[in-house]
Chains A and B, each alone.
Chain A
Amino acid sequence: MIKIKYENVVKQFPGSDHLAVDNLNMEVHEGEICILVGPSGCGKTTSMKMTNRIFEHTSGHIYIDGVDNRDINPIELRLGIGYVIQEIGLFPHMTIADNVATVLVEKKWPKNKIHQRVEEMLNLVGLDPEIYSKRRPSGLSGGQRQRVGVARALASDPPVMLMDEPFGAVDPITRARLQNEFLRLQEQMKKTIIFVTHDIDEAIKMGDRIAVMRYGQLVQYATPDDLLSMPANDFVSSLVGGNRSIKRLNLIKVEDIDLYRPPEVAEGDSKTKVVEAVAGDKLGVALVVDDRGKLVGTVTNTDLKRKGEYVKDIYAPAHDLVGPKSTLRDTLSIMLGYGEGYALAVDQEGKPRGAVSVDDIFSAVKDNE
């Protein structure tokens, strides 16, 4: 089903001699993430802002559920569309809870329902309400602010979301984590999302469909797979980059491949038990889990040289972990970063799912091509 449709949409800013958006024709399918990607100034933000009428388009039509957005009262329109802006734009004079509650207050929800919903949203984006509800935005890190921005946009459960570089202002590791969490949420929410990014790796990872823009024009609109295998022209090829096999790694997630499971030992197990386990494993590693089954560390031959009677005395704490939504590209970076031949995968609860080795990555790429 088509949720949002752009028909010959043109935007010329007053006093400007060029078109910021030049005859955009595009259909966004319900429940999909549509990525707008392209160089700075190509019209991504402008296209997005015309959707909720922050900017009025010069000509053409934008339909939402088949209704021309100019026929909808702007306030009504915006209350139904979640909005995460490039600058985050949290209200500095309000608490985190009040920020998240903004749309709910505008929609005149009762107080107790708002309170409950705000807690739910903060938990959803991984911020403990006990700690963060009463803080101001200035007391949060960049990544936490972006989470709040997303929580605020999601609070009223709008069917459509506009997200302008929502994970732009954070380091690569935090960004990968935010991306993974968001993909996991989207799996349940099934919202129609327009998502702007500069980063082609992010586009391939997050997008169901990618719109490549240049000079205000739509250059190619395709699935990530098609974009990689059939770039429409040299511009798209160069945007995707020379090494397409590496980009392809963004398409495959850890949850998509079969994982090898190294042996598991408990923290309280004796050293003799773990010596056997390590010796019998093809990667030469045993996974250490705590009493709740969470992966806490690993034991390899190096660790066995350490003095101690039990596993808990000798194991190395786990660091290089990936989740089900991590891409093989993320996984490869982590492996290279730690100089290991494998990375360990855990599920949402932190329980071990297995190990991803370099061989797994090779064969996954081969199968995918």
Chain B
Amino acid sequence: MNQTLWDFFITRQDLLLELILEHVGIVLLAVAIAIVIGVTLGLLSSYYSALASIILPFTQIMMTVPSIALLALFIPIFGTGFLNGLIGLVIYSLLPIVRNTYIGIKEIDKGIIEAAQGMGMSERRILLKVKIPLALPVILAGVRTATVMITGIAAIVSAVGAGGLGELIFRGIARTYRDMIIAGTILISLLGIAADYGLKAAERSLTKQQS
């Protein structure tokens, strides 16, 4: 690593720490909201196929809208700032979570569900004791995809004033301050890698527990 970049990390560590916390904060909050909405939608879709045929394509389409355009479109509704960025990130996290919840439930062996019914378990009990635990590794994989993806996308929400490490990139571009851009990029990548590893480990320990 060259000297000036290193100096940047050292001298600006307070700013960097603040931006990291902001970045992680908005990502975690977005993922948490997306889990609540996404798992609910995924579960509902697994019960009502009519709903599935609307929700799954819809989340798919939302994914194809470029993130910068989506955020710009939200400005008239949510203004600029944190809320706009947060909502954008939630929408991007939804697809993998909804889809994986749906697939995770649908892929459970029919015989297992039928055995549960035959034992006299109610639908609510089957959902809590059988379906969700069995779909959990797949749902968690969706959460991981979402988290890693929006850790990157969160760099762009800085453009609408939602804060985070993207600030470094945008300010760096404005001032043609190369080290600032590189520092922002490195930190965002590191966060993404950390999220990927952490959640993969969680998935693995869960699958191990179950087999």
A positions within 8 Å CB-CB of B: 52, 54, 75-79, 81, 83, 85-93, 102-103, 106, 136, 138, 152, 162
Contact = CB atoms under 8 A, between A and B. Distances in A.
B76 interface: no
Contacts of A83: 115, 118-119
Contacts of B2: none
B109 interface: yes
Contact of A92 (B110, B118, B125, B134): B134
A52 B109 contact: no
A66 to B, nearest CB: 21
A102 B210 contact: no
B62 to A, nearest CB: 32
Given A92-B210, A92-B211, A93-B133, A102 B111 contact: no
Nearest to A85: B115
Given A83-B118, A106-B121, A136 B109 contact: no
A92 B211 CA distance: 7
B119 A102 contact: yes
B120 interface: yes
Contact of B130 (A79, A87, A88, A91): A91
Given A103-B119, A106-B121, 5 more contacts: A54-B114, A75-B120, A78-B117, A89-B109, A89-B115
19 contacts: A54-B118, A75-B120, A76-B120, A78-B117, A78-B119, A85-B114, A85-B115, A85-B118, A88-B111, A88-B115, A89-B114, A90-B115, A92-B210, A92-B211, A93-B209, A102-B116, A106-B120, A138-B211, A152-B119
B112 interface: yes
Interface of B: 109-112, 114-122, 125, 130, 133-134, 209-211
B112 A78 contact: no
Most buried by B among A88, A106, A136, A138: A106
A83 B130 CA distance: 17
Contacts of B210: 92-93, 136
A93 to B, nearest CB: 4
Contact of B116 (A52, A81, A91, A92): A91
Nearest to A139: B211
B104 to A, nearest CB: 12
A52 B117 CA distance: 10
